[in-house]
Structure 1
């Protein structure tokens, strides 16, 4: 063993190249998964917004219906 390599490990250019290629494939996979997750998240956000709009519109619709029913009831009385 030399002073420059105390562990006796030698890594060649081919090993480095293979690892870089593998890393590039891993990054591509992560990017594809990220795009899929982003699309799913956008879909879920849209659905939640629609539910929130419906939830907040429901009390107003109920009040309107009750008001209309009361007005009709008052109109029907002599």
Structure 2
């Protein structure tokens, strides 16, 4: 059986293959650039989240220290210490 009959009479030439390969290369480059931008955004978000987490865990310690200092100042002001 002839290869032409298996493809339904369609012949694909080297030019068509080359054109599709060039288009595919452009698509891959575009995806690569998009991936780099997404990776940079992800790194930025990760950095921001880590900063927020540091503040979240530092805030209770600061509140307890401030409350202790306030209590000590009030006691000293009223003459108890």
Q: Is the shorter-chain TM-score for this pair beyond 0.5, marking a shared fold?
A: yes
In terms of mean alpha carbon deviation, does 25-34 or 2-11 score higher? 2-11
How many pairs does the alignment contain? Answer: 77
Taking the TM superposition and a 5 Å limit, the aligned residue runs for 1:59-78 are 59-78=60-79
In 1, the alpha carbon distance for the partners of 2:3 and 2:36 equals: 45
How large is the RMSD of aligned CA atoms in angstroms?
Answer: 1.2
In 1, the alpha carbon distance for the partners of 2:3 and 2:39 equals: 48
- Could you tell me the TM-score, scaled by structure 1's length? 0.89
Match of 2:3 in 1: 4
Structure 1 residue runs of 4 or more that deviate by more than 4 Å after TM superposition: none
In 2, the alpha carbon distance for the partners of 1:41 and 1:15 equals: 39
In 2, the alpha carbon distance for the partners of 1:60 and 1:14 equals: 70
Give ranges in structure 2 of 5+ residues lacking alignment: none
Match of 2:24 in 1: 23
